[in-house]
Every structure is written in C-alpha cells, then in structure tokens.
Amino acid sequence: MRAHAFRLTPGTDLRTELKRLVRANGLHAGCILSCAGSLSEARLRMPGAKGEEEAFKTFVEPMEIVSLTGTLGLDGLHVHLSLARRDGACVGGHLVEGCIVNTTAELVIGELTEVEFQRTVDPATGYRELSVTPRRPEEAIGAAPGAGSSIVVRDRRAMLAGMKPILSDGAFVFCVTDQRDIAEKARPLTIGWFEEDEGTAMILRLSHAERLGFDVSLPMARIVLQVFSGLDGVGLTAGVSSALADAGIPCNVVAAFHHDNLFVPTQLAQRAMAVLLDVQREAVA
C-alpha cells in the first residue's frame, strides 16, 4: 500500500476535492486512513431516511471532523463523515457535496495497488455497491517501490494499462541560454538538461526560472507516467500523445530512464489527466 497525504485549505468542498484527488492521482482503489480538521458547514445524507426532507440535513456552524472513513476509486466514492458540534454532540451520515473546510483538513489516503474498486448495481439493494477485482501485474507496476524491484514493460498494451499518470505539484518552464555562466548557475535547479547547438536547454520550476530571469510566459504542468517502460518499448509515447492531440492538448514528452514525463499547459492539466485515465481504462478493458 502507498500513502498519499494532502492538506485541504479553507473554503474547499470536501467531497469535490476527494473526487479531484482520486482522478489527479489515478487511484484505482483507495481508502481514507485519517482526516483531522474542521468544517464551517456540512450537508449530510442521513441513514435510513425516507423522503427528500429527511434525506439531507444541513448544519451551518463550526464543527470538528472526528471521523472520515470510506472507499475511493475512479468509478465512485462511498464515504461517511462524523462531526462534533460545539456542545460535544456528534452528527454523522453520508458525505455529499456541501461540506466546506473551515480552517484545515489534513487528509491521508491509502492506495491499494493490487486491486481495483468498481461499483455495480446490486439487485438485492438497488444501489451501486463495491466490487473488488485483482489487478493484473502489469497494471500494478506503477506502485513498484524502487528501481531495484521495478519490472520493465515493453508491450504497448501493458504499458498503456499500467501507466498510472500522476500530476506533479507546481508549474515548470522550458528555458534555454547560450551563456555558460547562467547555465551552470541554473544546472543544480533543473529537472532536465540537454545540450543543443543553439544553447543549453533546461526544464526548471517556474519559481526558479523566474528568479533566474527566464521567460515564464508558458508554464507547464508535469504528468509522470508511473509504468517502468523499457527504452526499447514501442507504442506508449504514440498512444498518449495521439490521444492528447485528438483532444486538442499540446504535449511535450521527455523520456527519462524509468518513466515518461508529459508537459502540458497548466490550464489544460486536468483535461489531460482525464484523457490519459480514459486511455488507461481502455487498455485495461
């Protein structure tokens, strides 16, 4: 299991952000390990309620999160929330949109790398209930803990099925300089470096590029494909770049030793993640 830790800031809708984090991190199967924080208002679907008036209750007051538990996946969430009111009394129910973070929500999600969560209608309940299926080894490759235990994949379908796109934090800028002193000053800060005839090309975090005086007018988001793709593998780059091109999303691909890195305009990052996750799901099917 891998752990993902986040801090949700004031004004964030708790359920909406959970859904975004699941998609942004490509979580096929996850569970909430811990959440400490507070809400300024909450809307809950109550257990066993009959009729619309009883089904949902809204609380507009400062409350502490005492429990947040549930299962998460690309096919849906099932999360329960318990809150402590000012007098110490607790309320709880199903988490729905309308639960707004007050001061903070410190969230830890566990990712189960060997299974996938799906939701299918159970005739006995009439609800979309959890279905747990094992993932093929090539699909779980992205969870390999380190280079010593990585499995190199060369098959096109296996690479696409196991690519697990991860959206990195922050923005990045492609820079170039023909001045050796500037290049040497920037080199320790780069995440990528290439010597071209026209000068030294670098990929820098936006803050570093700005501080060094480079043009930062085209900030890029970085998406790492977590599959350990072989340098002699065929089809991964073509598969993802053509899908992004069909969606009208510019993409710059940088292949490192273990992973391919995709750089897309920051304003298109979420759309790119959605496209990549669709490609991955089609390869798994």
Question: What 3-state class would DSSP assign to 145?
Answer: coil
For residue 230, name the pLDDT band (cuts at 50, 70, 90): low
Instruction: Determine if residue 53 is left, alpha or beta; phi over 0 gives left, psi from -120 to 50 gives alpha, anything else beta.
Output: alpha
User: Tens of pLDDT along 149-203?
Assistant: 344 545 666 667 767 888 988 999 999 999 999 999 998 899 998 999 999 999 9
- Return the pLDDT at 147: 36
pTM: 0.53
The H or E element containing residue 78 is strand 76-84
Instruction: Decide if pLDDT at 214 tops 80.
Output: yes
Question: What 3-state class would DSSP assign to 211?
Answer: helix
Instruction: Decide if pLDDT at 54 tops 80.
Output: no
Q: How far apart are CA 68 and CA 48, in angstroms?
A: 19
Q: What would the DSSP string read from start to end of 18-75?
A: HHHHHHHTT-SSEEEEEEEEEEEEEEEEPTT--HHHHHEEEEEEEEEEEEEEEEEETT
Q: How far apart are CA 18 and CA 27, in angstroms?
A: 11
State the maximum Cα–Cα separation within the chain, in Å, rounded to a whole number: 72
User: Tens of pLDDT along 85-143?
Assistant: 999 999 999 999 999 999 999 999 999 988 889 988 888 888 889 999 887 554 554 44
Q: What percent of the chain has pLDDT over 70?
A: 85
Q: How far apart are CA 63 and CA 100, in angstroms?
A: 10
Q: Which domains does the chain have, with CATH numbers?
A: 2-111 (3.30.1330.80), 144-284 (3.30.2130.10)
User: Tens of pLDDT along 253-276?
Assistant: 998 887 889 999 999 999 999 998
- Match 């190199």 to its residue by tokens: 152
